């Protein structure tokens, strides 16, 4: 193995399904090498160790937690000096700030007193909310994508790409109807990288207008008669990637690098709170968000119960949890993918429309995190989704969207099972658009 700097612990990927190990030395690796046209059910996870978090003092989490990020390990592995890696992160962050008015910042987590009182918690317990609505592009999605962008830029700086110049870059591609699409288009615009966004017919006019203002190419995806089950946007996205586009996605199955930068959210919570957190409720669509939070908590050695929240209008993760337990265990269920996870049969529907993924693509790691911490999935009734959005606006000052507040719906549904002195965390992850 190539000599590496002492901090590189997450310097390889391992497939959670077939267990193949993928070293960082390979060029432009995004997914398991065993994926084929007929077998796409693989996902690379970062092989990591539990170690103390040692952030440096910087408001940018990608600098503060740089030595814990796999993308920084990659940069070191391919020969980029430490200052060069820091410069790439800093310069790109400034370019992003010029586009959207803010670069990446560590977001606050605070006890929401009025919300805690409304939910009946005691002064010893309560609800702490991490507010991601003021971060890049108004949600947590940009964190996932920024580690991918850094991977691409570091690959370019190290001459580890097949294109000779910026003008020859292949286009980026993403399938999304909301926050992830806007985050991807924002980052792409910042570095002048062409991007195509595959959106459903139901995409809002506000989202479409924002994407167009950012210079993205938008392709509306209708379900075709010969499509396999699942999201037609994902089908069209995969066709674009097969044609040479770069998967700039927030599904770990399509791009393992998105599971790197999202961990900064959990690391911030772990370092900002000076008490034991009992539970955290995380809204789940494709699953990368909850996957990263669970992974961050594991590597930092804290273990609040993780509850993954979906809506009654689309809940493939809860179904996978039940099936996995029935046929063995909720943990390490990757080899049982066909038995546990398949597309939601009904037309997904909910006010929280940003978590209506037909499949929970990163379900394996989310099940692992819940099993490891004593958590479990929650399927929130639509009435609780609506109430959560109302309560978020009534009892906090955060302008969060229904999707961004969906974790609260899980807490509302689960509240009667909690002691009044429990300390609970939520992440409000998307601004109202």
Instruction: Name the residue ranges covered by the structural domains of the chain.
Output: 12-99+141-258, 109-138+262-428
Protein fold of 12-99+141-258: Rossmann fold (3.40.50)
Q: Which helix (H) or strand (E) holds 393?
A: helix 382-395
Asked whether the beta carbons of 55 and 271 are under 8 A apart, the reply is yes
pLDDT in tens, 43-71: 999 987 667 888 999 999 999 999 999 99
Token pair, residue 19, equals 């267990």
For domain 109-138+262-428, which architecture applies? 3-Layer(aba) Sandwich (3.40)
Identify the CA nearest to 216 among candidates 186, 244, 238, 241. 186
Give the closest residue to 428 by CA, choosing from 99, 68, 199, 115: 115
- pLDDT of the residue at 3: 37
Q: What is the pLDDT of residues 361-413, one digit of tens each?
A: 999 999 999 999 999 999 999 999 999 999 999 999 999 999 999 999 999 99
What lies within 8 Å, CB to CB, of 260 at 6+ separation is 10, 46, 69, 70, 71, 147
pLDDT(284) > 80: yes
Region 247-255: mean pLDDT is: 96
Distances (CA, A) of 170 to 89, 112, 156, 216: 21, 45, 12, 14
Residue with tokens 């700086």: 157
Residue 190: predicted pLDDT: 97
Dmax (CA) of the chain: 61
Q: What pLDDT does 225 receive?
A: 79
Nearest to 292 by CA among 61, 87, 101, 77: 61
**432 band by pLDDT with thresholds 50, 70 and 90:** confident
Q: pLDDT-based confidence at 306, cuts 50/70/90?
A: very high
pTM greater than 0.75 = yes
183-225 tens-digit pLDDT: 999 999 999 999 999 998 888 899 999 999 999 999 999 888 7
Average pLDDT over residues 135-156: 97
Q: Which residues, 6+ apart, have CB-to-CB distance to 395 below 8 Å?
A: 112, 114, 115, 117, 118
Q: What is the pLDDT of residue 25?
A: 78
């Amino acid at each position: 193995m190539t000599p590496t700097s002492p901090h590189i612990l997450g310097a390889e990927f391992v497939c959670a399904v077939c267990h193949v190990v993928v070293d960082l030395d390979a060029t432009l690796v995004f997914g398991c090498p065993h994926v084929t046209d007929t077998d796409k059910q693989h996902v690379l996870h970062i092989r990591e160790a539990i170690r103390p978090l040692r952030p440096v003092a910087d408001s940018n989490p990608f600098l503060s937690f740089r030595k814990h990020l796999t993308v920084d390990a990659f940069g070191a592995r391919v020969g980029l000096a430490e200052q060069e890696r820091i410069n790439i992160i800093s310069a790109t962050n400034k370019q992003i700030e010029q586009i959207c008015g803010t670069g990446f910042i560590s977001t606050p987590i605070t006890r929401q007193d009025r919300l805690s009182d409304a939910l009946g918690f005691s002064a010893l317990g309560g609800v702490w909310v991490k507010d991601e609505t003021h971060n890049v592009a108004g949600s947590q999605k940009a964190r996932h994508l920024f580690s991918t962008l850094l991977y691409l830029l570091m690959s370019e700086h190290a001459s580890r790409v097949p294109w000779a110049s910026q003008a020859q870059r292949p286009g980026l591609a993403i399938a999304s109807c909301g926050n992830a699409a806007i985050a991807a288009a924002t980052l792409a615009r910042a570095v002048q990288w062409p991007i195509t966004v595959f959106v459903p017919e139901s995409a809002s006019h506000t989202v479409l207008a924002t994407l167009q203002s950012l210079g993205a190419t938008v392709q509306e995806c209708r379900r075709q008669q010969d499509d396999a089950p699942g999201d037609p946007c994902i089908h069209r996205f995969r066709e674009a990637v097969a044609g040479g586009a770069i998967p700039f996605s927030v599904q770990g199955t399509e791009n393992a690098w998105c599971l790197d930068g999202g961990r900064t959210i959990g690391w911030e919570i772990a370092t900002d709170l000076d008490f034991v957190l009992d539970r955290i409720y995380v809204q789940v669509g494709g699953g990368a968000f909850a996957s990263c939070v669970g992974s961050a908590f594991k590597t930092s050695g804290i273990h609040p119960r993780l509850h993954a929240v979906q809506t009654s209008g689309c809940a493939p993760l809860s179904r996978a949890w039940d099936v996995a337990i029935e046929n063995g265990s909720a943990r390490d269920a990757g080899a049982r993918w066909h038995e546990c996870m398949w597309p939601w049969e009904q037309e997904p529907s909910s006010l929280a429309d940003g978590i209506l993924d037909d499949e929970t693509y990163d379900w394996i790691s989310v099940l692992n995190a819940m099993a490891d911490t004593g958590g479990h999935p929650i399927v929130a009734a639509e009435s609780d989704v609506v109430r959560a959005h109302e309560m978020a606006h009534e009892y906090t000052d955060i302008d969060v969207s229904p999707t961004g507040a969906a974790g609260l719906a899980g807490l509302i549904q689960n509240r009667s099972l909690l002691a009044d002195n429990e300390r609970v965390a939520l992440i409000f992850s998307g601004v109202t658009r």
